[in-house]
Structure 1
Amino acid sequence: MKLKFLSNHKAASKPETVTASSRPLESSMDANVAEIKRRIGNSADVVFRSLSNPASGSPSLTFIYIDGLINADLVTQAVIQPLTDSQDLQEQGMENEKALLLIKEQILPVGGIKECKTVEILLSMLFEGNTIILLDGANTALAANTSGWETRSINEPTSQGVIRGPKEGFTESLRTGTSMLRRRLKNADLRVEEYKIGRRTQTGIALVYLYGIANEQVLAEIRKRLDAIDTDSILESNYIEELIEDGGMTPFPTILNTERPDAMAGGILEGQVGIIIDGTPFALLAPATFFSFFQSSEDYYQRYDISSFLRIIRFTAFFVSLLLPALYIAITTFHQEMLPTTLLISLASQREGIPFPALIEALIMELTFDVLREAGVRMPRAIGPAISIVGALVLGQAAVQAGLVSAAMVIVVSFTAISNFVIPSLAIANSIRLIRFLMMLIAGTMGLFGIMSFLMVLLIHMAGLQSFGIPYLSPVAPMKPRYLKDIILRMPMWKMKIRPSTYGSQEAPRQNLPAKEQQVSAKQSGPQGSENS
């Protein structure tokens, strides 16, 4: 598979690595403090606290932490107080290395103590909420985990709501995200790998997957692309998505984003790999297929017949949102003979006196609706929905009465917009918004022939897309009938006994299978679990 990155920035993903440009700590505590102050400047939130009592024989210590990133009570009770009260440190003539080992292994009750041998590693630990302990005469510092900054509480997801199901979503805290997955997947095979990406932001990234289920080749490719990222900053998951996704010139998303822990847990159980980014509640799931964007968590929290019906509605809404304005333009402009006579007369009477052709009329209405939608999003939450709804009603009615657009065009554009909201994934819905404008232009110039030609080109383009080596239209193209039980329709739970290898995972029983069915599964899956079906 062709990679889009050629450089490998190991320093960004693994800040603990000592490079040639790293500056080792000196044995003089004052020199180290001076160098740290020179690096960070006169920052008011960085606290330096020194403890020195030569009469007691205890070594001189300096504590460094950032106010707002640490738990002040934890620093006082678990770091400063144990060191000041310790009788072992007051032994005369104790070597610095022995004192450092004593502090690390016996005195400090706080967990997660790490050694820092360079200024770069020390600063990295400091900015993560650790308390740095400098010992005079030692060229190694200790970093005690005392992080305790304010975080948002766990709330219901705002973009992926469900009627039945869990009401909690990811927060901006990376550790909260991994803990929510641990609570759902209580299994030793759940692996979490952490990266630091961004030279200036040093954003924490967690790669989460199930060992033995996730495809090793997909995992290796994701690791390779994450290691290859060399950028200043990562502020949101879209930064990672754009830098590692396949097919950067396609309008279709090849990585799924979600803010629901249950959706990520379900994807991981299917063989997908989760990517949680510190600072945003939206996590990523890869690889992703076209059909995964039409699946909702609620599909599995209610009966299979209702879920199948709702999926049919979503796919229907997809085609309506994509084709309805273009079909209206093409038929009213080039193919009037396809309409029944009564409907044709009704449309003709409505368009009488309209100064614009159907194409310009549709473009004006589509752009107007997009403006109203953006205005509703950007305005204060209390009045945003009211303004967008009232604005759409008032402008639509006024435009019809003024003779600028026909009533049928208002209906077409409104139903198209409503259908766009039916799609559960905002990423694929936004892609349809862009493609719809191009489809309208083609329909206004070449009619139904242009629409069919463009659909064929679009289908060929989608068939050529991949997501980390997985075909974008899998398991429909290439066709694997064995894995179609959860694509357009959702079969009952007792029918879906085999974990499909749609995402490259190894096919395996998810429920107890009779011996005969297990033999059939083993024969059809083959040694790789996904090639023979």
Structure 2
Amino acid sequence: MKLNKRKSAKKAGLHTDNTERPISAELDANTDILKELFKDCTDIVFRMFKAGSQRAYMVFVDGLVDSNTLQFHVLEQLEEAEGEHFTVDRVKDRLISAGTVNDTEKLDELVKQILGGNTGVLIDGLDAAFIVDAKGGARRSVSEPETETAIRGPREGFTESLRVNTSLLRHKIRSNRLKVLSKTVGEETQTGIAIVYIEGLARPELLEEVEKRIDEIKIDGILESGYVEELIEDDTWSIFPQIQNTERPDTLAGNLLEGRVGIIVDGTPFALILPATFWQFMQASEDYYHRFHISVFLRILRMTFIFVALLLPAIYVAVTTYHQEMIPTNLLFSVAASREAIPFPAFVEALIMEVSFEALREAGIRLPKLVGQAVSILGALVIGQAAVEAGIVSAPMVIIVSMTGIASFTIPRFNMAISIRLLRFPLMILAGMFGLYGIVLGTTFLLTHLVKLRSFGVPYFAPLAPINLRELKDVFIRAPWWEMDKRPSQMVDGDVRRQKKHAKPSKPDAKNRGVEGGST
């Protein structure tokens, strides 16, 4: 196989070492190499035309370019250039009127740009090629995010186009301090990646570390931002996500304003936000759009139900198996009566129901949208009722599993919700083996792991561990905006203050209120 590759490269006129072949002034020499490189690539179009009195070629990928741009801003401009003396600067600056035109003297760079959706223009007699940004083709338009729905807030979400995504972000942050660094990852896919940050807010050492980890990625292809997330996170063996993903431009913009760094990957609507803390995954974008009273209530509700989602089945197994004296007498009689005909212990009963519930939820996701919703809801109702009537599981267990499922849906971020769902099973095992002592042992291990975890140098449990009382205003609750006058100290470099100190709006005095009341 390696011998065949060397023969093919030699036949194409390419070097097999790391040196790059320059573009020749002879048009036929360049096109012969390109045609050999793109052999059996029927979607690569070679369009020969006359640039004044010179022969020229236009090379592009069919379906990735805008034909109108090529026709009116490249072909017509060059064909009408009769008597022109062609130079690189004249063609680039005066003749091609497309939006962005660059030149290159490297053949490998030309091939890379053509495969990236740009158009290559070669003119006989010039030892440089022109790269015209005339990208087009069928693309999904900007639409409402599907995984992060919101009652109040912007309705636009990221798409699969890198430049569309950066433009959506630029629309939110109209500042020259917003920087976009471009990189290419993937030996075969040559996937474009944009590192976005606000200069003066993001720490330089964080930017350096992000660039270093991305540059160290050596893989054949990047098809989704999940590839990058898994390759650059601190602890790949941890079940907890250490990088937040989002398809909302406003969420990314809000995090950039706090000093974080974003990674946008071409071909996916999910951008990455880092560093991430545990509390970020408990917060929704809507928390900052509602009045703070509503946001406080919703956050307390989520914090309560995360314990329900994690511990409720384990506590039920532990109490009914080892600690019956903790149950009120009337409730104990009711539970005992419902379990009288059940052939399985509480742990096996809980395991059957939890696995069945997870299977139904997965089936509902994989099936078509309308069918999936019906299957997941009806399946849970029918199977649960049938299992109780058949004496396989007890009615209290169906209630426990249903409450656990509802609680897991209150977690705003899917990657954190599924981590909590998975952790229920080892806690149930510990509860079945050791009772409440096993639950204490498991939660102690989890808390120790969370406190030790880091995301790009930032403690995962910050600002609770290490504690920072000032920054707790945006953890368990969401304080009014005029109280959150500073950015998280763990994230920003130096510009900590985000608004005027004590910026609470002043109330109108009594005289003004009387005038307003009289006028109404």
TM-score (norm 2): 0.91
Out of 105, 121, 127, the residue aligned to residue 139 of structure 1 is: 127
**What is aligned with 1:108?**
96
**What is aligned with 2:22?**
24
d(CA) in 2 for partners of 1:32, 1:48: 12
d(CA) in 1 for partners of 2:472, 2:161: 37
Give yes or no for the alignment of 1:68 onto 2:68. no
Give yes or no for the alignment of 1:163 onto 2:151. yes
Alignment of 1:314-353 (within 5 A): 314-353=302-341
Secondary structure of 1:305's aligned partner: helix
Out of 35, 39, 42, the residue aligned to residue 40 of structure 2 is: 42
Out of 207, 211, 218, the residue aligned to residue 199 of structure 2 is: 211
Q: CA deviation at 1:411?
A: 0.4
Contact 2:258–2:492 (8 Å) recurs in 1: no
Give yes or no for the alignment of 1:508 onto 2:503. no
- The superposition leaves residues 70-117 of structure 1 with CA deviations (integer Å, 9 ceiling, x where unpaired) of 10011011001111101342xxxx5xxx53332112111113212222
The one-letter amino acid of 1:87's match is: E
Secondary structure of 2:370's aligned partner: coil
> Could you say if the C-alpha distance between residues 164 and 131 of structure 1 is closer, same or farther in structure 2, counting changes exceeding 3 Å?
same
Secondary structure of 1:191's aligned partner: strand
d(CA) in 2 for partners of 1:81, 1:66: 20
The one-letter amino acid of 1:291's match is: W
Out of 97, 104, 107, the residue aligned to residue 119 of structure 1 is: 107
Q: CA deviation at 1:504?
A: 4.4
The one-letter amino acid of 1:316's match is: T
Give yes or no for the alignment of 1:79 onto 2:74. yes
Q: CA deviation at 1:307?
A: 0.3
Q: Select between 235-244 and 19-28 the one with higher mean Cα deviation.
A: 19-28
Give yes or no for the alignment of 1:455 onto 2:437. no
Aligned length: 488
Give yes or no for the alignment of 1:187 onto 2:152. no
- The superposition leaves residues 311-368 of structure 1 with CA deviations (integer Å, 9 ceiling, x where unpaired) of 0111111110000000000111111111111111111000001011111111110111
Contact 2:275–2:455 (8 Å) recurs in 1: yes
> Could you say if the C-alpha distance between residues 415 and 145 of structure 1 is closer, same or farther in structure 2, counting changes exceeding 3 Å?
same
**What is aligned with 2:423?**
435
Contact 2:50–2:78 (8 Å) recurs in 1: no
**What is aligned with 2:375?**
387
Secondary structure of 2:435's aligned partner: helix
d(CA) in 2 for partners of 1:24, 1:294: 54
Contact 1:246–1:467 (8 Å) recurs in 2: yes
Secondary structure of 2:296's aligned partner: helix
- The superposition leaves residues 243-302 of structure 1 with CA deviations (integer Å, 9 ceiling, x where unpaired) of 001111100000000111111111001111111111111111000000010111100111
Contact 1:275–1:285 (8 Å) recurs in 2: yes
- Identity, in percent, stands at 48
Q: CA deviation at 1:137?
A: 2.9
Give yes or no for the alignment of 1:482 onto 2:477. no
**What is aligned with 1:363?**
351
Q: Select between 334-343 and 123-132 the one with higher mean Cα deviation.
A: 123-132
Contact 1:500–1:507 (8 Å) recurs in 2: no
The one-letter amino acid of 2:425's match is: F
> Could you say if the C-alpha distance between residues 225 and 213 of structure 1 is closer, same or farther in structure 2, counting changes exceeding 3 Å?
same
d(CA) in 2 for partners of 1:399, 1:66: 57
d(CA) in 2 for partners of 1:99, 1:478: 63
d(CA) in 1 for partners of 2:440, 2:320: 17
d(CA) in 1 for partners of 2:347, 2:23: 69
**What is aligned with 2:6?**
none
Secondary structure of 2:473's aligned partner: coil
Contact 2:200–2:495 (8 Å) recurs in 1: no
**What is aligned with 2:49?**
51
**What is aligned with 2:293?**
305
d(CA) in 2 for partners of 1:365, 1:411: 10
Q: CA RMSD in A?
A: 1.6
TM-score (norm 1): 0.89
Secondary structure of 1:363's aligned partner: helix
The one-letter amino acid of 2:200's match is: G
**What is aligned with 1:249?**
237
**What is aligned with 1:222?**
210
Contact 2:50–2:79 (8 Å) recurs in 1: no
Out of 279, 293, 297, the residue aligned to residue 267 of structure 2 is: 279
Out of 257, 268, 271, the residue aligned to residue 269 of structure 1 is: 257
The one-letter amino acid of 2:61's match is: I
Secondary structure of 2:54's aligned partner: coil
Out of 413, 416, 424, the residue aligned to residue 404 of structure 2 is: 416
Q: CA deviation at 1:142?
A: 1.1
d(CA) in 2 for partners of 1:514, 1:115: 54
Secondary structure of 1:195's aligned partner: strand
**What is aligned with 1:406?**
394
Give yes or no for the alignment of 1:426 onto 2:380. no
- The superposition leaves residues 472-531 of structure 1 with CA deviations (integer Å, 9 ceiling, x where unpaired) of 00011001111111110111111111222132443522222279xxxxxxxxxxxxxxxx
> Could you say if the C-alpha distance between residues 504 and 248 of structure 1 is closer, same or farther in structure 2, counting changes exceeding 3 Å?
farther
d(CA) in 2 for partners of 1:295, 1:339: 34
> Could you say if the C-alpha distance between residues 52 and 109 of structure 1 is closer, same or farther in structure 2, counting changes exceeding 3 Å?
closer
> Could you say if the C-alpha distance between residues 507 and 52 of structure 1 is closer, same or farther in structure 2, counting changes exceeding 3 Å?
closer
d(CA) in 1 for partners of 2:237, 2:142: 36
Contact 2:87–2:126 (8 Å) recurs in 1: no
Query: What are structure 1's unaligned runs of at least 5 residues?
Result: 1-18, 516-533
- The superposition leaves residues 120-140 of structure 1 with CA deviations (integer Å, 9 ceiling, x where unpaired) of 111111112222111223332
d(CA) in 2 for partners of 1:100, 1:214: 39
d(CA) in 2 for partners of 1:199, 1:337: 63
**What is aligned with 2:162?**
174
Secondary structure of 1:485's aligned partner: helix
The one-letter amino acid of 1:29's match is: L
The one-letter amino acid of 1:272's match is: R
> Could you say if the C-alpha distance between residues 393 and 505 of structure 1 is closer, same or farther in structure 2, counting changes exceeding 3 Å?
farther
Contact 1:270–1:505 (8 Å) recurs in 2: no
The one-letter amino acid of 2:74's match is: V
